[in-house]
């Protein structure tokens, strides 16, 4: 059945797991009449500890699935690690606009910071890529990045408001603030450079020094995407199109995705379809 | 150059990451004149949160690499999750003897326990498979299993003797002991059902009730393998063969393997070769 062109375009959203559902949640809030196809490459997560070559190969396969199989006309890379290490490779591999989460996060940090000095917490691979430091430098900011590899497992264990999690956040932020001070930075802004971290936002806000602004790159990316897509796709803001349609796909562990995903999306994820990308 | 048949046979050792190096370490201690080929499927780790189907496919690819490319004549599955979910699939896929870590762990628990009631801590996937409970039941034991998903990230963060790790271990063991008591078990033995956990052994031994025995399935598997291999391969115990030769392979993140692997192996892992299994 061919659908008339008056239907809303499909926005493809890609993550290594289901953390990117925090980005989808922020997108849905801004583009309530769009159609979304989300894929989590759960068979091969986490990307955070893998090499650039491997991450790029995996990410391109997911992007191609969203374009070829789901007809995506826009693509949001809702994964900091893939944005950091594979945005160029994805942009080369698919013929549609592709937006990552790093640049919008850095732009939001610039808008928030008065001192021009910012802190970034993220996964190992994102930090090792120094993608946030580069994006911040392009915005005229100085940035110090820190890998916090325990935070994703703590979120996935469901310990978002557990005392152990507060303790781990405190340790990481103390180390980060000490390093920033040692390098002469006067940081007033903290960027959450991983899509799992918004679930820890209350605990993180309690742990940061008074007056420090916390930037959620998921929110920043959704804001940038909505701006971009509104400019290109008039039907998105029209009342003639049907309400939000979300289809979720995963390369493995559909049950875990369905069970944990609603925490990230803020509503039930419904049925998650299993796809095989050949990995 | 063809090597004469008097050379020691190659023992293939497979893990999803480098945790299985604790098994290799125990094997080397018992079979100092064998040749070892170890592969860590680091591009696709961790297996602990993936489905049986995916784990079996990945594990078979690594097993075939060890047999076809490295000439392994024996195979040790040094990964609890792969042993729990893919041992049958691997045994069908390769024409050599294959030993996992679950059965030896259960056998060691039987030898250690006086009450016949044991506790098992492991990854999500290992626990969900109930492979330890089945293997313990076959030994006439009652077993309660608990997933401890934070312990692997804590080991990989290097926090093996950190107060946070002691706290997390305490929480997990309290929950496990409470559940065992609620079910009327009088457990006197704890099985470490993950190859990362031997690095936490001192902290775990401080946390268990007085008198509880701690069984390391890596040690148990190495013991069983040495017994099996000595029976089949005379050159292993002969003084004519060269000293231990270890070749390590990884499907990704060779740098991380080389950096962290020595902690698990108890000596430098040396050069780790990158292989592509197509995933």
- Helix, strand or coil for residue B203? helix
Beta strands across the sheet bearing B72-77: B98-99, B72-77, B10-15, B35-40, B245-250, B272-274
Asked if residue B279 is part of any domain, the answer here is: no
pLDDT confidence bin for B21, thresholds 50/70/90: very high
Residues A167, B164: C-beta atoms closer than 8 Å = yes
Instruction: Give Cα separations from A135 to A48, A101, A121, A210 (angstroms).
Output: 19, 11, 14, 26
To the nearest whole Å, the CA of A152 is away from the closest chain B CA by 9
Strand pairing partners for A245? A35
Residue pLDDT, tens place only, B208-247: 999 999 999 999 999 999 988 876 654 454 555 556 889 9
Residues A51, B171: C-beta atoms closer than 8 Å = no
Regarding whether B59 and B19 lie in a shared domain, the answer is yes
Q: Is A79 a catalytic residue?
A: yes
User: What is the average per-residue pLDDT within B111-136?
Assistant: 95
Range of weakest confidence among A227-231, B142-146, B191-195: A227-231
Regarding whether B120 and B70 lie in a shared domain, the answer is no
Please name the residue of chain A whose CA is at the shortest distance from the CA of residue B164. Answer: A164
Please name the residue of chain B whose CA is at the shortest distance from the CA of residue A279. Answer: B279
pLDDT of residue B43: 84
Q: What sign does the dihedral B244-B250-B256-B260 (CA atoms) show?
A: negative
Domain boundary among A218, A235, A266: A218
Question: Is pLDDT of B115 > 70?
Answer: yes
Asked if residue B3 is part of any domain, the answer here is: no
Asked if residue A279 is part of any domain, the answer here is: no
User: What is the average per-residue pLDDT within A239-243?
Assistant: 56
Judge residue B1's burial from the number of C-beta atoms within 10 Å of its C-beta, 0-12 exposed, 13-18 middle, 19 or more buried.
exposed
User: What is the average per-residue pLDDT within B124-132?
Assistant: 91
Regarding whether B167 and B269 lie in a shared domain, the answer is no
Chain A residues touching residue B252 (CB < 8 angstroms) = 50-51, 54
Task: Supply B73's token pair.
Answer: 């004549």
pLDDT of residue A239: 53
Asked if residue B5 is part of any domain, the answer here is: no
The DSSP secondary-structure symbol of A241 reads S
User: What is the average per-residue pLDDT within B140-160?
Assistant: 96
Range of weakest confidence among A3-7, A8-12, A49-53, B226-230: A3-7
Cβ neighbours around A106 below 10 Å, total: 28
To the nearest whole Å, the CA of A153 is away from the closest chain B CA by 6
pLDDT of residue A233: 55
Regarding whether B233 and B141 lie in a shared domain, the answer is no
Unique residue bearing structure tokens 């650039």? A52
Regarding whether B55 and B134 lie in a shared domain, the answer is no
Rg (CA), chain A: 18
> How many residues belong to chain A?
279
Number of compact structural domains in chain B? 2
Q: Is B166 on the interface with A (CB under 8 A)?
A: no
Question: Is pLDDT of B185 > 60?
Answer: yes
Question: Is pLDDT of A20 > 90?
Answer: yes
Question: DSSP assignment of B52-67, as one string?
Answer: HHHHHHHHHHHHHHHH
State ipTM: 0.85
Residue B95 CA to residue B76 CA, distance in Å, equals 13
Question: Is pLDDT of B162 > 50?
Answer: yes
Closest of A71, A17, A43, A12 to residue A196, by C-alpha:
A17
Q: Which range has highest mean pLDDT (B3-17, B156-170, B242-256)?
A: B156-170
- Do B78 and B218 meet the contact criterion of CB atoms below 8 Å apart? yes
Regarding whether B133 and B206 lie in a shared domain, the answer is yes
Question: Is pLDDT of A223 > 70?
Answer: yes
pLDDT of residue A5: 46
Q: Is B194 a catalytic residue?
A: yes
Regarding whether B81 and B155 lie in a shared domain, the answer is no
pLDDT of residue A232: 63
Question: Is pLDDT of B4 > 50?
Answer: no
Chain A residues touching residue B50 (CB < 8 angstroms) = 42-43, 252-253
Which helix (DSSP H) or strand (DSSP E) does residue A67 occupy? helix A52-68
User: What is the average per-residue pLDDT within B132-155?
Assistant: 97
- Helix, strand or coil for residue B250? strand
Asked if residue B173 is part of any domain, the answer here is: yes
Instruction: Give Cα separations from A163 to A46, B168, B252, B276 (angstroms).
Output: 25, 10, 35, 42
Please name the residue of chain B whose CA is at the shortest distance from the CA of residue A165. Answer: B164
Asked if residue B96 is part of any domain, the answer here is: yes
Please name the residue of chain A whose CA is at the shortest distance from the CA of residue B170. Answer: A164
Chain A residues touching residue B54 (CB < 8 angstroms) = 43, 252
pLDDT of residue A7: 63
The DSSP secondary-structure symbol of A4 reads P
Chain B residues touching residue A253 (CB < 8 angstroms) = 49-51
Task: Supply B98's token pair.
Answer: 């294959």
Regarding whether B67 and B168 lie in a shared domain, the answer is no
Q: Which range has highest mean pLDDT (A7-16, A37-46, A126-135, A249-258)?
A: A126-135
Chain A residues touching residue B49 (CB < 8 angstroms) = 45, 253, 256
Please report the residues numbered 218 through 247 in chain B whose beta carbons come closer than 8 angstroms to any beta carbon of chain A: none
Regarding whether A141 and A55 lie in a shared domain, the answer is no
Q: Is B253 on the interface with A (CB under 8 A)?
A: yes
Q: Strands A245-250, B10-15: parallel, antiparallel or unpaired by DSSP?
A: unpaired
- Do A27 and A13 meet the contact criterion of CB atoms below 8 Å apart? yes
Asked if residue B231 is part of any domain, the answer here is: yes
| CATH code, B160 | 3.40.50.1860
Range of weakest confidence among A74-83, A139-148, B50-59, B64-73: B50-59
pLDDT of residue A240: 53
Residue B107 CA to residue B144 CA, distance in Å, equals 16
What angle is formed at CA A168 by the lines to CA A182 and CA B15, rounded to 5 degrees? Answer: 110
- Do B90 and B16 meet the contact criterion of CB atoms below 8 Å apart? no
Cβ neighbours around A245 below 10 Å, total: 14
User: What is the average per-residue pLDDT within A40-68?
Assistant: 89
Question: Is pLDDT of B18 > 70?
Answer: yes
To the nearest whole Å, the CA of A117 is away from the closest chain B CA by 27
Range of weakest confidence among A132-141, A180-189, A254-263: A254-263
Asked if residue A4 is part of any domain, the answer here is: no
User: What is the average per-residue pLDDT within B248-252?
Assistant: 93
Inter-chain Cβ pairs, chain A and chain B, closer than 8 A: 53
Mean per-residue pLDDT of chain B = 90
pLDDT of residue A1: 42
Mean per-residue pLDDT of chain A = 90
Rg (CA), chain B: 18
User: What is the average per-residue pLDDT within A205-233?
Assistant: 90
User: What is the average per-residue pLDDT within B194-203?
Assistant: 95
Residue B121 CA to residue B131 CA, distance in Å, equals 12
Residue pLDDT, tens place only, A69-120: 999 999 999 999 899 999 999 999 999 999 999 999 999 999 999 999 999 9
Residues B253, A167: C-beta atoms closer than 8 Å = no
Regarding whether A96 and A225 lie in a shared domain, the answer is yes
Domain that holds residue B95: 10-100+220-274
- Do A105 and A51 meet the contact criterion of CB atoms below 8 Å apart? no
Closest of A190, A161, A185 to residue A173, by C-alpha:
A190
Regarding whether A54 and A140 lie in a shared domain, the answer is no
Chain B residues touching residue A146 (CB < 8 angstroms) = none
Regarding whether B204 and B111 lie in a shared domain, the answer is yes
Please report the residues numbered 63 through 102 in chain B whose beta carbons come closer than 8 angstroms to any beta carbon of chain A: none
pLDDT confidence bin for B44, thresholds 50/70/90: confident
């Amino acid at each position: 059945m061919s659908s008339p062109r008056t239907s809303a375009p499909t926005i493809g959203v890609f993550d290594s797991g289901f953390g990117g559902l925090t980005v989808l949640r922020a997108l849905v809030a801004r583009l309530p009449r769009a159609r979304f196809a989300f894929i989590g490459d759960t068979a091969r997560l986490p990307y955070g500890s893998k090499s650039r070559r491997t991450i790029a190969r995996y990410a391109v396969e997911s992007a191609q699935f969203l374009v070829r199989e789901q007809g995506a006309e826009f693509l949001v890379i809702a994964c900091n690690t893939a944005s950091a290490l594979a945005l160029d490779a994805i942009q080369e591999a698919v013929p549609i606009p592709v937006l990552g989460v790093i640049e919008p996060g850095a732009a939001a940090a610039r808008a928030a910071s008065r001192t021009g000095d910012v802190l970034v917490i993220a996964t190992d691979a994102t930090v090792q890529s120094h993608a946030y430091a580069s994006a911040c430098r392009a915005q005229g900011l100085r940035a110090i990045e820190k890998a916090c590899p325990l935070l994703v497992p703590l979120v996935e264990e469901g310990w978002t408001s557990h005392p152990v999690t507060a303790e781990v956040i405190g340790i990481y932020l103390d180390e980060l603030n000490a390093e920033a001070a040692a390098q002469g930075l006067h940081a007033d802004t903290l960027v959450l450079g991983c899509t799992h971290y918004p679930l820890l936002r209350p605990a993180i806000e309690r742990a940061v020094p008074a007056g420090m602004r916390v930037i959620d790159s998921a929110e920043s990316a959704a804001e940038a995407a909505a701006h971009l897509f509104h400019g290109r796709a008039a039907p998105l803001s029209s009342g003639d199109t049907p309400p939000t349609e979300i289809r979720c796909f995963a390369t493995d562990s559909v049950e875990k995705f369905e069970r944990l995903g609603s925490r990230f999306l803020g509503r039930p994820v419904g049925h998650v379809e299993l796809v095989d990308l050949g990995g």
